[in-house]
Copies of this chain bind each other. A is one copy, B any other.
């Protein structure tokens, strides 16, 4: 007799986001270990395959777990600390002082745990993060059950955990060495802060370290007008600067790409680099609107990201999809731009490609890792349902996520986290918040 599956999910509307964009009205998903072994239609009369755990998904939408291509998870601790301010004032008077005073290993771990709780509860199963003391983020991710690409920060100034900037590359290399074989759920990475905070030497050394280890190289690029204008004294663009330094290839993830010049889209596309698009953060900080439609048309894998909580202020990718679709429609004055299916890919399959995990996650297909979420569609704002993808992108919210499975493990069910002690995390985050508030200007 066949060995029972570990999990069988039946009866939901399954949005596979596979190559054929299949949607299965009455779906059957079978999981063994951490892999998807069967994606099928329920046959009305046939008995369900035997399983250790059977999930009745009738009335639910089942889709791949969402992939957040850009986060700074510990910054949950600065959520709403300073809003509605000019960028420099926000950074220099609030965020940088708070980071220098309050970012220590325990804070990073608590902030990251808080972020993981929020992400799981709003449908994200994988994030691509960049911060300092990233070991603490890795421990939080492992504990939460999430999957992540984690970049140790590199910047040419003293940073939490790296008091001597001259040690920044070595610190990143040590991080990679510690985590590259520690867990199949954690992929180490290098996160260079930006072309204007790292010298060319640092940038090239960091990229070399990433390449040598075969890990992702992440970098903020072309986020603000000021950055663009300063960087090459107006004679070039951040993308061209990075290109000339040899930093653009299929292992690179460029974050933001708001201020692209003529030819930049083509340079990115030819290099094979991917882009993380953070529309809500770019809107809130008034950075601008990235030319995402052009990037996608040129074949660049563009994934959605929320950015950190200091500039969004939440990690809800379902809301980010809605905003992205609407923003690009009005920006181009074209209601057909950024259609729902494209935007859903930007939070699933294309996002997975962007963070270097396209073969493993991002769609519901045979052999892929079992990372998936179930949305409770029996709610007033999700009824009637004519087009499931439209419903997910334009009507659903993070709180509709009922169940989350990552790497074959149920990490959240009926909105209860099985991996984390939420009450304790909230208490500890509140305690840190009280300290941060006391020292904020």
List residues of A whose CB falls within 8 A of some B CB.
76-77, 79-81, 83-87, 90, 114-115, 117-118, 121-122, 225, 280, 282-289, 309, 312-316, 319, 322-323, 325-327, 329-330, 332-337, 339-340, 378-381, 383-387, 390-391, 394-395, 397-400, 422, 425-426, 429-430, 432-434, 436-437, 440
Assess whether A117 is in contact with B326, with CB atoms less than 8 Å apart.
no
* Number of copies of this protein chain within its complex: 2
Assess whether A286 is in contact with B337, with CB atoms less than 8 Å apart.
yes
29 contacts between A and B (CB under 8 A): A80-B394, A80-B395, A84-B340, A87-B335, A90-B335, A225-B333, A283-B330, A286-B334, A286-B335, A287-B330, A289-B330, A309-B395, A313-B390, A313-B391, A323-B326, A327-B330, A378-B426, A380-B426, A383-B433, A384-B429, A384-B436, A386-B433, A386-B436, A386-B440, A397-B397, A397-B398, A397-B399, A399-B399, A399-B400
For residue A437, which residues in chain B have a CB less than 8 angstroms away from its CB? Answer: 384, 386
Interface of A is mostly: helix
Assess whether A330 is in contact with B286, with CB atoms less than 8 Å apart.
yes
* Smallest CB gap from A118: residue in B: B380
Q: In the bound complex, how far is the Cα of B285 from the Cα of A335, in angstroms?
A: 5
Knowing A312-B394, A426-B380, say if A336 contacts B118 (CB, 8 Å).
no
For residue A333, which residues in chain B have a CB less than 8 angstroms away from its CB? Answer: 225, 286, 288
For residue A425, which residues in chain B have a CB less than 8 angstroms away from its CB? Answer: 380
Nearest CB of B to A242, in Å: 24
Q: In the bound complex, how far is the Cα of B383 from the Cα of A436, in angstroms?
A: 13
Q: In the bound complex, how far is the Cα of B340 from the Cα of A147, in angstroms?
A: 34
Q: In the bound complex, how far is the Cα of B282 from the Cα of A327, in angstroms?
A: 10
User: Which of B84, B225, B385 is in CB contact (< 8 Å) with A433?
Assistant: B385
User: Which of B86, B118, B387, B422 is in CB contact (< 8 Å) with A83?
Assistant: B387
Q: In the bound complex, how far is the Cα of B429 from the Cα of A322, in angstroms?
A: 24
